[in-house]
Structure 1
């Protein structure tokens, strides 16, 4: 499962291709200079051809090596201007949450612009008055607007859709507010179709010890809805279209710590291990 990634190293942008591992912080990375490279345009031009994309990233861009601990990872394809990225997602999409009253299309929500995306290690901001926060381990689809602005799928990654589920439980109409927390995201953009099966575990630490731990199951097979119908309906709205705009679409989650009776607190640390894909995310929660 090859993934593309972007980093800053010694003040300059670099790009690489590799298979992620949960121990990537101890890894030596092969990097190619990305100065002057329009990665979004190259992905659209390659149109799923990994050989063509690899050539675009490496030809005339001599490789260097760097320790992972010495680089700063970036959210995949995050534009220089945060307003050129739109972060949103769907709620109650999974079979474990859907019931006989489930609508024909799941509810979509807006989470923020590109600056709400936080890679592992960065804090996830949530309102100080949050009623009950919970993590949500999710698959994230990534789209780029083509020259006409129409979003085109370029790959997927994984994320944590931090949510004030307690506020939503008070009244379903509060969902737009409940979702306005930061979102964790992995730096790896997987170059392929969305995964059918994803499993892993979540650990919430408090004061240096484990406060809660549980497992999750996601992927397209766990969805109550057909993925093509979900995404094609959302992205058919011309109000979302703009050339080069990056869309991050969170696909919803399995049951989370809240559903098991756990109450999250300020400064808790959430660690998600997407074990089927070798991806690990870890974020402290900061209520501000």
Structure 2
């Protein structure tokens, strides 16, 4: 089941659900995806059970709403400060050839010759898939922002004026709510664009945190439940109505050095990320970047990311912010 949010003409939210390939229908009496998820968490029911109990109403044309700019992020929080955008890196194996080459290098090279990135990758290969009851190695982790940095599908991802680059990262994101008892509940997974400044990151890896403090987009739909083992998608950039760059990307645990459970554990082990009522959008990494193929994005380019079984493609144009003068005032 796929779930999404649409802004109605009166400004309220309609929650839409559908099976892939079918017309979406509104969930009766649903205030938002967040409200439904919290209801399910507190009632000890699945989200599907809560939706089935409410029933479905009118059909919703998601493509029309998308074209009209009325699709929202598939989950929002009444207070954007309580939605967290975070992610992990060095989690995917990439193609078979890349995997073999990287595995050989990381297992045969002397420790002192490896970069920190390669060391982290090796740690994931060796300890990112713990057995049940065991704790695996923690991954690279980063913070992107709160709900104010979440951009709805179809709307522009804005690169700051000071940025060196603004490039896409096609990823899967886990979507979670925290119950009033501080327990994380997974709604499901969505396609995401973990928009980043790769040129800044390449200058020095210690600037990774700076490169990740950017907007992000996810959706338009959340696939309720656990992700498939093997996820196959396509990432492309359109310029002037034509495809500038296109490449397949792989995700799912069949293509990862870490299990989803291990990545989730190392995020939610922190009390900070189990605050009651919060929403988490946690992005799980990728092995496919246009930046790695020498592409330099320009204002007006359109990022398009899609994966089979995850609903409508995620599309966002690139915009560049104007200069802002920041003045610090003394109190």
Distance in structure 2 (CA, Å) of the matches to 1:5 and 1:278: 10
Bigger shift: 227-236 or 81-90?
Answer: 227-236
Q: Do structure 1's residue 41 and structure 2's residue 44 form an aligned pair? A: no
Indicate how the Cα distance of structure 1 residues 152 and 265 shifts in structure 2: closer, same or farther if over 3 A, else same. same
Is contact 1:125–1:286 with CA below 8 Å preserved after alignment? yes
TM-score of the superposition, structure 1-length normalised? 0.88
Equivalent pair of 2:2/2:311 in contact (CA under 8 Å): no
Deviations, residues 262-281 of structure 1 (Å, cap 9, x unaligned) = 11122211111213534301
- State the Cα distance separating 1:229 from its structure 2 match: 1.7
Determine the structure 2 residue equivalent to 1:88.
Answer: 86
Q: TM-score, normalised by structure 2?
A: 0.77
Using the TM superposition, give the Cα deviation of residue 164 of structure 1 relative to its aligned residue in structure 2, in angstroms. 0.6
Q: CA deviation at 1:47?
A: 4.9
Higher strand content, 1 or 2: 1
Shift of 1:177: 1.1
Q: 1:155 to 1:66 in 2, by over 3 A?
A: closer
Matched, 1:244 2:238: no
What value does the CA root-mean-square deviation take over the aligned residues?
A: 2.3
Return 226-235 or 163-172, whichever deviates more.
Answer: 226-235
Q: Distance in 2 between matches of 1:130 and 1:19?
A: 40
Cα deviations by residue, 1:72-126 (Å, 9 ceiling, x for unpaired): 2222231111011111000111113876312432211111111222232100111
Q: 1:33 to 1:70 in 2, by over 3 A?
A: farther
SS at match of 2:262: helix
Structure 2 equivalent of residue 30 of structure 1: 25
CA 1:276–1:65: 2 relative to 1, 3 Å: closer
Query: In structure 2, which of residues 77, 80, 89 is the aligned counterpart of residue 79 of structure 1?
Result: 77
Q: Which moved more, 1:235-244 or 1:203-212?
A: 203-212
Secondary structure of the structure 2 residue equivalent to 1:199: strand
5+ unaligned residues in a row in structure 1: which ranges? 22-26
Per-residue CA shift, 1:172-195, capped at 9, x if unaligned? 111111012211211322221122
Cα distance in 2 for partners of 1:284, 1:105 equals 34
Contact 1:75 1:118 in 2 (8 A): yes
* Structure-1 separation of matches of 2:236 and 2:246: 4
SS of aligned partner of 1:73 = coil
Asked whether the 8 Å contact 2:222–2:310 carries over to 1, the reply is no
Task: Report the equivalent of 1:55.
Answer: 52
Structure number with higher helix proportion: 2
Residues paired across the two proteins, number: 279
Residues 277 and 234 (structure 1 numbering): CA distance in 2 closer, same or farther, change over 3 Å? Answer: closer
